[in-house]
Amino acid sequence: MPLSPSQAPRTVLQDNGVLEVTVHGLGALNIVGSPELLALRDAVAAWADHPDVKVLVLRGQGDKALIGGANIHEMVQLKGTKAERFIETLRDVCEVFRRFPAPVIARMPGWCLGGGLEVAMACDIRVAASDAQFGMPEVKVGIPSVIHAACLPRLVGQARARWLLLTGEHIDAQTALAWGLIDRAVPLAELDAEVQRVADGMAAMGTAVLRQQKRLLREWEDQGLDVSINNSVREFGAAFETGEPQAYMNAFLSRR
């Protein structure tokens, strides 16, 4: 079923190149099913090649959740290939953020569970409210955590990933920060200002270098250390072909 215009993701490009994408899920916890996921995937993909986007900020409507999880009312009806198709759609949403050319910041108030946390883990930077709660509770409803739950051991380590995935228990923002699951935790009243501060800081940098650095980070996830080091020499040289090092270095020197 297609979404109404009021339910579709909202995208706003700020003058400095910060693209804000707002997810409109179901209820206060911003629950997402196939219609919401497909709309989010397509809305973000449409901006991937836009030359003016320097940073993407992902947020949910309201302050109860970024994405509170996947729609269990839809999932309980799934069987076989339909279940695979559902999770493939969620995988594609995560990938559109993980592979988005510009850095992606997740704004994380309230609850971020299951598929919502997988989407957040596919982002580059996670800024949360200090009273936020996180978890991967899929095992409690009879399904394994899959797709981008595979990011969890890289972020928090094997032991902590096992705890979250096998117990299904929630953790608070202070624990998530200590474990490396999130990058910042601030009071809810300061969340928008902190997200904007981080986004504006990156937006003040060169578009080409931000995209180059994100691409390198993704390559380093997949390649051995020797390959990553040697390939980065070529990337360093390529940066000087964009003109950004000369512009930003000269600006820095002129302030000295």
What positions carry a catalytic annotation? 118, 138
Q: What is the rounded CA–CA span in Å between residue 207 and residue 4?
A: 34
The pair phi, psi for residue 55, each rounded to 5°, is: -145, 145
**Strand 171-172 and strand 104-108: pairing?**
unpaired
Give the count of beta carbons closer than 10 Å to the beta carbon of residue 68.
25
Q: Which of 152, 59, 154, 145 is nearest to 97 (CA)?
A: 59
The one-character DSSP state at 4 is P
DSSP per-residue string spanning 166-218 = HH---EEHHHHHHHTS-SEEE-HHHHHHHHHHHHHHHHTS-HHHHHHHHHHHH
